[in-house]
Amino acid sequence: MIEYVGIGDVKIAHNPEKLAIIGLGSCVCVAMYDESAGIGGVSHVMLPEPHGESVIEHAERACKYATVAVPVLMKKMIVKGAKKEHLKAKIAGGASIFRELDSLEIGDRNVAKVKEMLRKLDIGIVAEDTGGNLGRTVIFDTKSFKLHIKTKSYTKVI
């Protein structure tokens, strides 16, 4: 079964399942897993952090920010039975899709903030496919813990 993960969503799968994000542009997919517990999860990060708006006021959409989504993903994984010391991450996305917005470097900033948050939480990144100017579709297989990535130019598994 494939479950789709929308912008700002965090999904956890204990049973073998596939978690997918379609049309990932400047957003970043954070796929986190604990192989020994058989648990995987995905967050769909849209922006690095809130600017000028309260996360509390926008609680239902707070996980669109890397500063919120990464710790929430970790906490949800632990609640489901993962061990923090066993958590690993794979990341994909952070492309520069819109030329007129390239000066904002949203994709690069998203990737940098996701990496910073994972580092602060002491969760290692074991693989990544980030940057460039191509949108991606990603499918995280929670049975094999492989992240399948497809663009219009290439397909890869990390």
Q: What is the pLDDT of residues 119-137, one digit of tens each?
A: 999 999 999 999 999 999 9
Over residues 13-58, the pLDDT tens digits come to 987 899 999 999 999 999 999 999 999 999 999 999 987 665 554 5
Least-confidence region, from 81-85, 93-97, 139-143, 149-153 = 93-97
The sign of the dihedral angle between the CA atoms of 142, 143, 146, 149 is negative
- The mean pLDDT value for 86-114 works out to 87
Q: Could you confirm whether 27 is annotated as catalytic?
A: yes
In which band, very low, low, confident or very high, does the pLDDT at 1 lie, cut at 50, 70 and 90? confident
Q: What is the pTM of this model?
A: 0.92
Catalytic residue, chosen from 5, 10, 21, 27, is 27
Domain CATH number, residue 37 = 3.30.1330.200
The total number of structural domains in the chain stands at 1
pLDDT of residue 152: 94
Q: Residue 101 pLDDT more than 80?
A: no
Instruction: Give the pLDDT score at 62.
Output: 84
Range of the domain at 9: 2-90+98-107+114-157
Structure tokens at 124: 């290692």
